[in-house]
């Protein structure tokens, strides 16, 4: 289980960090301290809740179906062995389909991805960072960076859409705090330190050990919680080491040793062993993507997901992280520029992924977001931390349009940022709701202490 907020190195060059202290080492230390403080609060809440459950069990107060439905299903089940014979009891209907949350660490400059065409405010505030003439046309008078050209096919099919001006009042201009809130679906204290995807999994019913997967060596905050998410770098890495000839027998022995031990850990181990079997079956032969598909750069993470999804591992939620979006200087919005190249790498990977999935893509939705947007005005080559970012949705299910949500123009900026026209957690919730067919009440539970308002994203 992961304890760091940022899956990517801190940004030593980032003015945010430099402002914390004159000495760079000291500044990094202080930045870490901030992260740690946020984490501590989250962890405290989490621990207290688990303790309450344990106490309740010891007192014989029992766990009722109500506490189950209320949310902490897996924890309650696991701790309440006395009350439940089958520890995987689940009252939610089993769902199908996959939601992949791609997180762009560093704060994507949304206006370098999608921007209103011919906008006088942009022409004045960021003349050096306007989208090029080679941009693709979007609905409602917007244009899309040419870096996303590999995804044109899905744009035309109505499966690629963008929500602009996405933010939440909880997001500060600190990478650490904002990334944390985005991944938790609220402040640490509000969500009890649980990731939003982990809470979402509560509503998805029974599943396999691959139900929630983070591609990487540590779990992102969005998957931390009660549902035993798996973090793997690649499918083949999930196996027992040592000599091949003893492997199968060792797995059998471990499964046997943990069977009938009258301890709830039994179930976790047996589930884990099943995951090993699946992973080995899938990685027995080198993965062969569909004809003509080549995975490059961040694409390798999507290749693992394609392998799992096509192999029938029943992935419900998954995460992919990509760094390098903190573009204070040398931003490069246009072709040949730094940001353009990076966005192109992402679009190429997504196109490869959806081509490779073929018909299975119909059940997959990819949501790309970042911790915050950047300021509207150029700082003379780059942009600084701001708000009102862009969320990209690529879905097997047809969308309501290529430009989604509310947009009221750039005439009234919010302290130099794109105002919050669309709430981030309403966007998250609506993407998940449409993917899994959840009720408003089910989505509401994912984001505690805020009222969920559905948005029209899907056709």
> What DSSP line would sit under 35-86, residue for residue?
HHHHHHHHHHHHHHHHHHHHHHHHTT----HHHHHHS-HHHHHHH-TTT-SS
Interface positions, 219-248, toward other proteins (CB under 8 A): 219, 226, 228-232, 238-243, 246
- Which residues neighbour 410 within 8 Å (Cβ) at sequence distance 6 or greater? 116, 119, 121, 122, 376, 418
Interface positions, 36-65, toward other proteins (CB under 8 A): 36, 39-40, 43-44, 46-47, 50, 54
> What DSSP line would sit under 244-288, residue for residue?
HHHHHHHHHHHHHHTTT-SSTHHHHHHHHHHHHHHHHHHTSS---
Of 254 and 400, CB closest to other proteins: 254
The least CB distance from residue 90 to other proteins, in Å, is 15
Of 125 and 279, CB closest to other proteins: 279
Q: Per rule CB under 8 A, is residue 84 in the interface with other proteins?
A: no
What value, to the nearest 5°, has the Cα angle with vertex 226 and ends 263 and 238? Answer: 80
b/e burial code for range 238-268 (CB count within 10 A of at least 16 → b): beeeeeeeeeeeebeebbeebeeeeeeebbb
The binder of other proteins chosen from 19, 153, 252, 281 (CB under 8 A): 252
Of 70 and 261, CB closest to other proteins: 261
The least CB distance from residue 211 to other proteins, in Å, is 11
How far is residue 317's CA from residue 201's CA, in Å, rounded to a whole number?
Answer: 8
Of 89 and 268, CB closest to other proteins: 268
Q: Per rule CB under 8 A, is residue 10 in the interface with other proteins?
A: no
Q: Per rule CB under 8 A, is residue 91 in the interface with other proteins?
A: no
Q: Per rule CB under 8 A, is residue 362 in the interface with other proteins?
A: no
The binder of other proteins chosen from 70, 157, 265, 362 (CB under 8 A): 265
Of 75 and 159, CB closest to other proteins: 75
- Residue 234: how many CB atoms within 10 A of its CB? 15
How far is residue 211's CA from residue 227's CA, in Å, rounded to a whole number?
Answer: 9
Q: Considering only the stretches 5-13, 140-148, 252-260, 383-391, report the one whose residues sit in contact with other proteins under the rule CB under 8 A.
A: 252-260
Of 44 and 341, CB closest to other proteins: 44
Phi then psi for residue 25, to 5 deg, are -65, -45
User: Could you list the residues that contact other proteins (CB under 8 A)?
Assistant: 1-3, 36, 39-40, 43-44, 46-47, 50, 54, 74-75, 78-79, 209, 217-219, 226, 228-232, 238-243, 246, 249-250, 252-254, 256-258, 261, 263-265, 268-269, 271-273, 275-276
């Amino acid at each position: 289980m992961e304890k760091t907020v940022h899956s990517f190195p801190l940004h030593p060059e980032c003015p945010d960090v430099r402002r914390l202290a004159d000495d760079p080492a000291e500044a990094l230390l202080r930045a870490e301290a901030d992260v740690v403080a946020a984490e501590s609060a989250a962890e405290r809440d989490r621990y207290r809740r688990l303790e309450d459950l344990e106490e309740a069990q010891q007192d014989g107060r029992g766990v009722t179906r109500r506490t189950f439905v209320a949310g902490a299903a897996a924890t309650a089940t696991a701790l309440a062995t006395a009350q439940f014979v089958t520890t995987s009891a689940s009252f939610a209907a089993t769902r199908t389909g996959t939601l992949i949350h791609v997180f762009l660490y560093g704060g994507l400059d949304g206006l370098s991805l999608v921007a209103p065409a011919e906008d006088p405010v942009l022409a004045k505030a960021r003349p050096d960072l306007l989208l090029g003439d080679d941009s693709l046309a979007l609905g409602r008078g917007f244009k899309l960076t040419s870096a996303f050209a590999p995804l044109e096919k899905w744009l035309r099919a109505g499966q690629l859409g963008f929500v602009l001006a996405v933010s939440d009042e909880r997001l500060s201009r600190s990478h650490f705090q904002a990334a944390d809130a985005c991944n938790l679906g609220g402040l640490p204290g509000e969500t009890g330190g649980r990731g939003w995807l982990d809470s979402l999994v509560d509503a998805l019913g029974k599943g396999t050990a691959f139900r929630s997967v983070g591609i990487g060596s540590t779990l992102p905050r969005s998957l931390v919680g009660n549902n035993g998410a798996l973090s793997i770098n690649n499918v083949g890495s999930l196996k027992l080491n040592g000599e091949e000839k003893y492997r199968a027998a060792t797995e059998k022995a471990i499964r046997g040793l943990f069977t009938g031990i009258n301890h709830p850990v039994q179930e976790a181990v047996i589930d884990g062993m099943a995951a090993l079997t699946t992973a080995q079956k899938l990685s027995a032969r080198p993965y062969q993507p569909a004809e003509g598909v080549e995975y490059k750069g961040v694409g390798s993470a999507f290749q693992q997901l394609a392998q799992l999804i096509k192999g029938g591992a029943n992935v419900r939620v998954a995460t992919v992280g990509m760094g390098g979006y903190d573009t204070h200087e040398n931003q490069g919005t246009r072709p040949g520029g730094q940001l353009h190249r990076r966005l192109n790498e992402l679009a190429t990977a997504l196109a490869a992924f959806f081509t490779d999935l073929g018909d299975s893509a119909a059940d997959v939705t990819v949501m790309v977001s970042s911790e915050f947007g950047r300021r509207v005005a150029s700082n003379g080559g780059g942009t600084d931390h701001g708000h009102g970012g862009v969320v990209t949705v690529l879905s097997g299910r047809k969308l309501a349009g290529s430009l989604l949500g509310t947009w009221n123009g750039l005439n009234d900026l919010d302290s130099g940022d794109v105002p919050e026209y669309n709430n981030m957690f309403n966007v998250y919730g609506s993407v998940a709701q449409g993917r899994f067919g959840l009720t408003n009440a089910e989505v509401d539970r994912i984001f505690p202490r805020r009222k969920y308002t559905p948005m029209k994203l899907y056709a």
